[in-house]
A and B are shown apart, each in its own frame.
Chain A
Amino acid sequence: MTAIDTKPKRRNRNRPVWDEEPSLGGKAVKALFMICYAAAIALPLWAVLATSLASEEALSRAGGNLLILPTEVSFQAYTEIFSGGALTDSLVLTTVLTIGGTAISMVLTICGAYALSRTGSLWHRPILWAILLTFLFGPGMYPSFLVVQKLGLFNSYWSLILPGAVGTFNIIILRAFFMNSIPGELIDAAKIDGAGEFRTLLTIVLPMSKAILAVIALFYAVGYWNIYFSAVLYTPGLDTQPIQVVLQRMLMSTQGLPEGASAAAQYQDQGAAAPTAALKMAVVVCTIVPIVLMYPFIQKHFTKAVITGAIKG
């Protein structure tokens, strides 16, 4: 073909012809950087998994904490989590919150995005502005807390879902998708055939947006699964807390150095002895697993959907 192909060096077939082969040193530096970076992320996670599977004897032999490889695998920590105690309750609660919250958020988001995607309708611009203004100014922590109190939601599980149920950013992303990726002719045709707005939304628009809807649902689901701040703020008095709060209490109980007496008492109040490292790490694994299970799907659609939404705004 071209003169470049006659070079003695082996070329990557996918490399465009105009692109020169990088030097060996450059390649090595880049490879080293990327391997170190990936290892810095993956190794701690592996260590967490290893610790969660270690028996108590193995842990104490290894210095009380962390193992690189489980010598004898023990599922003791996991049986403890799922044996029906406070940890089981917390996982069930978090699952229910995640599913229920995601459902509520999705209904709100879909309705809002569809209504806003029909430009030129009555009061379209003021409604759009009402949503866009939320990007510029947040009401602040204390007023939000006050409103939750006034609504009687303090120490109610609803306060973990309702205040954050609408992600305005997600509405804007979904609206952009409805406007850009669903042909207007299709909607017009449905109108001419006599379909109303609700019917158009349900039978034309939603089936065409399955991928992005799933992505946004996952967005919300991860958010609900990771609920921590709302629980600290709005539901400090409830017995069964979301799993992140439980994990935080376990972390604090073994992290020593109690700073404020009240805070220390709060953690000691749990009554139980300090959790073993294996138990703690098993809870970490339990909070990671749902995210990892969603991950292949996220990877497939997520980035593309997010980016197009973010850039087109």
Chain B
Amino acid sequence: MATLQSTAPPEADPSPPRRIVRRKRTVAQRLRHDWPLLVLALPVLAHLAVFHYWPTAWNIIAFMDYSPYRPFWENPFVGFAWFERLFNDPYFVPALLNTLKFAALNLLCMFPLSVALALAMNSIISIKVRSTFQSIVYLPHFFSWVLVVTVFVQVLGADGLISNWLMGFGGERLDFTANPDTFTLLVWMQWAWKDAGWGMIIFLAALASINPSLYEAAASDGANRWRRMWHITLPGIRPVIILLLILQIGGILSVGFEQYQLQRQAVGYQSTEVLDTYVYYQSIIGTQGESFGTAAGLFKGVIGLILILVANKIAHRLGEQGIYQKS
């Protein structure tokens, strides 16, 4: 075929077949046509380049012995030395384990709570009750963590409402918000307070998209309330559950920063240290240096990337759409 093409020059091409051929326009022609769109996209691209891709490129210092006091190219490459040091650091592994613990907690306890709330809400027929309940439960989603922690200390802290109330009955002072042993429970309660209602909203939207005639058909076939839930409702929200699950798994090492940093002083670093606070306290506040902090962050980013790709792959295997299509 190659020889055939090379022997026939384009000018000698016999009359082309009579079909509408979209002429491939040159880049210059398209540029003349599309330049306003490129101008519109430019600010966003510039922003991403400066605040996303440039810092991403800076991750290379995780493999260098970087010092800001010498020219960039004079920093020697040290391979994985910083990662070795990271894994040998006595504070890193506990921080990693704490992160995984909180992520697992989030996955196991927050999802079912949100789904249960959504199912309970969905079975309420009165629109008034629904909208009142809905507006109460997802308001805290818009609160900052500072606010949430302040409110928790005010209610459950040593001088808080419940503590005062207990002492009024001759009980003991509560130290729930400063107790390292129950910190996991506290974190879960704060999550539930802040975000369970928000999760509920997302599932409610998914529930609303289920065709109601399915329920009617099942009911006339004799399926009771629970069977309808099992065979129609849950399969109906399966794609959304899987989508959120993938996103959760991808963010498994990003359990947040503020919630832990805010309670670090009261609870102590042993229970509150997660990867983000570790990076902050070791290398931004502390003296571990640029390369060390970058290596810790890169570790987190790469694991997150791998997890999200794997989770998406599994979702495809399960016949779900996942976050992006196979291409």
Contacts and interface: CB of A to CB of B under 8 A. Distances in A.
Interface of A: 12, 14-16, 18-20, 22, 30, 33-34, 37-38, 40-42, 44-45, 47-48, 51, 62-66, 68, 107-109, 111-112, 114-116, 118, 121-123, 127, 130-132, 134-147, 151, 162-166, 168, 171, 196-198, 201, 222, 225-226, 228-229, 232-233, 244-245, 247-248, 251-252, 254-260, 263-264, 277, 280-281, 284, 287-288, 291-292, 294-295, 298-299, 303-304, 307, 310-311, 313
Chain B facing A: main interface SS: helix
B161 A137 contact: no
A107 B268 CA distance: 43
B160 A65 contact: yes
B109 interface: no
Contacts of A139: 52-53, 55-56, 58-59, 297, 301
A116 B258 CA distance: 33
B73 interface: no
A166 B37 contact: no
A218 to B, nearest CB: 9
Given A44-B151, A131-B48, A142-B284, A112 B304 contact: no
A142 B44 contact: no
Contacts of B67: none
A63 B298 contact: no
A44 B120 contact: no
Interface string B14-58: 000000000000010011011011101101110110111111101
Contact of B37 (A122, A143, A256, A257): A122
Contacts of A30: 120, 123-124
Contact of B143 (A22, A232, A291, A299): A291
Contacts of A14: 125-127
Interface in B133-165: 133-137, 139-140, 142-147, 149-155, 157-161, 164
A141 B265 contact: no
Which are the 8 A-B pairs with shortest beta-carbon distances? A140-B297, A112-B44, A139-B55, A197-B36, A226-B144, A142-B293, A307-B205, A115-B41
Q: Which one of A14, A108, A248 has the highest number of Cβ atoms from chain B below 10 Å of its Cβ?
A: A248
11 contacts: A37-B137, A38-B133, A64-B159, A127-B45, A138-B254, A139-B52, A140-B59, A226-B147, A291-B139, A291-B142, A294-B142
Contacts of B297: 139-143
B216 to A, nearest CB: 5
A277 B160 CA distance: 10
A135 B159 CA distance: 42
Given A131-B48, A132-B324, A140-B59, 9 more contacts: A38-B133, A65-B161, A111-B41, A123-B38, A146-B290, A166-B47, A245-B146, A255-B266, A313-B323
Contacts of B53: 130, 139
Interface in B157-197: 157-161, 164, 167-168, 177-178, 193, 197
B118 to A, nearest CB: 12
Interface in B205-242: 205-206, 212, 215-216, 219-220, 224-225, 240
A233 B147 contact: no
Interface in B288-315: 290, 293-294, 296-298, 300-301, 304-305, 308-309
Nearest to B144: A226
Given A41-B197, A140-B297, A311-B240, A48 B136 contact: no
Contacts of B243: 311
A19 B232 CA distance: 14
A136 B36 contact: no
A138 B302 CA distance: 9
Interface of B: 27, 30-31, 33-34, 36-38, 40-41, 43-45, 47-48, 50-56, 58-59, 61, 117, 120-121, 123-127, 131, 133-137, 139-140, 142-147, 149-155, 157-161, 164, 167-168, 177-178, 193, 197, 201-202, 204-206, 212, 215-216, 219-220, 224-225, 240, 243, 250, 254, 257-258, 261-262, 264-266, 268-269, 276, 279-280, 283-284, 290, 293-294, 296-298, 300-301, 304-305, 308-309, 323-324
A41 B41 contact: no
A254 B160 CA distance: 12
Given A145-B284, A197-B37, A247-B150, A34 B133 contact: yes
Contacts of A198: 36, 40
A228 B145 contact: yes
Q: Which one of B41, B268, B301 has the highest number of Cβ atoms from chain A below 10 Å of its Cβ?
A: B41
Nearest to B121: A34
Contacts of A22: 123, 225
Given A63-B167, A123-B38, A140-B59, A244 B146 contact: yes
Nearest to A218: B142
Q: Which one of B135, B154, B168, B261 has the highest number of Cβ atoms from chain A below 10 Å of its Cβ?
A: B154
A147 B58 contact: yes
Contacts of A229: 257-258
